[in-house]
Structure 1
């Protein structure tokens, strides 16, 4: 079978060696008994969709699930974010896609694919892919997951990245036997089920912790009210000019270093008062746009202008108790801001005048300990989840390239 030329930047780097029983192909090094073909060659049909007119209210909020690229971020196998009516379906280019059909994006979220357990309609940015009888749908789903970044790199467009149907069909495809496809899909599905169960457990633990935090921090008889400024000192971070940045020295913590939006640090060799440095275990607070408390767990560092260091008065306010109080307060403020559409910003005087409710120092310590234990349990589960996701990635690489065989090749079975 002749395979059409693929996009040049799709092609993987060639392996340095080709072991016995394998051959080098456009797809990469694959087993001798796997067929080198293309995505288009293993599909019976690929169909798209459309969008009913937004100006006709009778077309919307019906009983028919209607998928867009937004559903990749909010995926549920049993439903979509939006729904259309029967009349909306009839008056649009959308199509009903039967359950258990693979749906992939050809615009924006390139390379992403899902399978629903219910019939859904799709919009024009998506394609439903119906493989022929020689390809297992679940295997094809994991093939998309494995090749997501490569497909995304094939996208073109000045504003919105997309891939044409013809280019999608040209993508090289390494096809094992149907039995091996099913074995591979089964192994990866089992790992996926473990990931899903961990995600659900983490969500449940977070919900339990949120309820516990609200109950434990709820003011009770004997608690006192105090302004935060009378119990703690808020120390301003330092602003930097460009010429003060260095390539090495003491790291300078910026907002993106605390929020996960960036891991790269700037550095400084300036000699500063000790109060301008933070150490592992110090309580920091981001006060502009992105805001909230965090316990610093890194090395000695300098905190930037949009961050305060909070030093609690000994014996009056427990640092970790304050961390949970501020976490609770800021979460409520974030929810309020999200509904009101305002940007979050706190002034230092407003923060110092913030009234907090306090039990005895001993009870503060006990409350903080209970919540910290819950955080530790959640962190342990999150670590396990991250490792399981890495395991799945490794499994996909080994299984979808044939480096690990779950079904013995025919020549070995016959010998």
Structure 2
């Protein structure tokens, strides 16, 4: 391929200048991983990759290890070399078969059974780690998978996959750019996990009175939550008035609290007492009892969803956080044949110690909300980084954008 020629590969338009077509099998030699049963995965301190981990914990590049084997087990496994490409040889679906990760480390490490290893030469393995998981290549692997209940792919089938490769220096630049965005995503993931741990520890201290905020010393009396709050149960609105065309008022159902809203609207008559607004504390009454701080705008409270209504002057935000651990405990205790159910009395009869002082309630709620706001801000950054990476892979791995 040379000059201004262009070639269509799997619906991806690739500029041909300096990109050359190769079969994967031309890039190196294949070998197999071996050994390492599940019960041997933590038998020592030598790093190891097991085939299931390629699906669950490794993505594009091996960054750390989750299995560590003994010297005796390693004698039956396959030693990895820097630059090796590891493919999952079996899986549950053709769409995921042959997922690949690149081993770019220099430490002693091994591959277990059901892993196909390509030991390439003259290419950048990190670049291939990304390219071999790109949609055009995934489609090629899926077309070569064999089996139904369990799907397998062979080294020969992998070897027949066609790739468009730039020169080695451009491979290195592309791999570096994608690694940078991966590093950003990993750092955000770690920071979010740390902030969540801090929030959990803070809740355990502040919501039990073990740690008090400055200026508050009064004892917390033990009493039922029903002395301060009531749970309003949603109304069974007639389904004949339901629609998805945006007519009427948005309806809040159990699935809307923690999943993707289904945008159901209600165009019939209703009592204003069932209107909810941002900042209301809602609780699902079937299956998942986690409280929700509603931010979806004006809507109607449907049946099997409860709203926490505080006595005059009480702070709903404080009770949103106070309820979380108690509802989690209730969810464990309440028995159900298929789906667990929650009643308003289950919530109102929760007995615990909490402050009577309204200012202390407000201070605790505000502090915890600040922590949540910080976590949500980081999650938004993480989401943007993931979108950016997706776009970069689409552009860089097809030659639409060149790093020259």
* 2:116 aligned to which of 120, 124, 127: 127
Could you tell me which runs of 5 or more consecutive residues in structure 2 were left unpaired when the two chains were aligned. Answer: 213-217
Aligned to 2:43: 62
The TM-score with structure 2 as length reference comes to 0.80
Aligned length: 373
Aligned to 1:39: 24
Could you tell me which runs of 5 or more consecutive residues in structure 1 were left unpaired when the two chains were aligned. Answer: 2-19, 408-415
Rounded Cα–Cα distance in structure 1 between residues aligned with 2:339 and 2:70? 37
Rounded Cα–Cα distance in structure 1 between residues aligned with 2:64 and 2:400? 34
Equivalent residue of 1:378, what SS?
helix
Residue pair 1:77, 1:115 contacting (<8 A) in 2 also: no
* Farther off after superposition, 163-172 or 200-209: 163-172
Structure 1 residue 286: Cα displacement:
1.7
Rounded Cα–Cα distance in structure 2 between residues aligned with 1:276 and 1:111? 52
* 1:247 aligned to which of 228, 244, 249: 244
Q: After TM superposition, which residue ranges in structure 1, 4 or more long, deviate above 6 angstroms?
A: none
Equivalent residue of 2:9, what SS?
coil
* 2:220 aligned to which of 215, 220, 223: 223
Matches for 1:64-143 after TM superposition, within 5 Å: 64=46, 65-70=48-53, 72-75=55-58, 77-80=63-66, 82-83=67-68, 85=70, 95-98=78-81, 100-106=83-89, 107-108=91-92, 109-110=96-97, 112-116=99-103, 117=105, 118=107, 119-124=109-114, 126-133=115-122, 135-143=123-131
Aligned to 2:185: 195
Rounded Cα–Cα distance in structure 2 between residues aligned with 1:362 and 1:263? 34
Aligned to 2:368: 371
- 1:26-67 Cα offsets, whole Å, 9 max, x none, are 253223220022323323225244564x7xx7x564125351
Equivalent residue of 1:310, what SS?
strand
Rounded Cα–Cα distance in structure 2 between residues aligned with 1:269 and 1:320? 31
Residue pair 1:96, 1:122 contacting (<8 A) in 2 also: no
Distance 1:269 1:161, change over 3 A: farther
Aligned to 2:215: none
Residue pair 2:225, 2:350 contacting (<8 A) in 1 also: yes
Distance 1:30 1:284, change over 3 A: same
Equivalent residue of 2:65, what SS?
coil
Aligned to 1:412: none
Aligned to 2:389: 392
Residue pair 2:141, 2:161 contacting (<8 A) in 1 also: no
Rounded Cα–Cα distance in structure 1 between residues aligned with 2:226 and 2:289? 18
Equivalent residue of 2:43, what SS?
strand
Residue pair 1:209, 1:371 contacting (<8 A) in 2 also: yes
The TM-score with structure 1 as length reference comes to 0.78
Distance 1:149 1:329, change over 3 A: farther
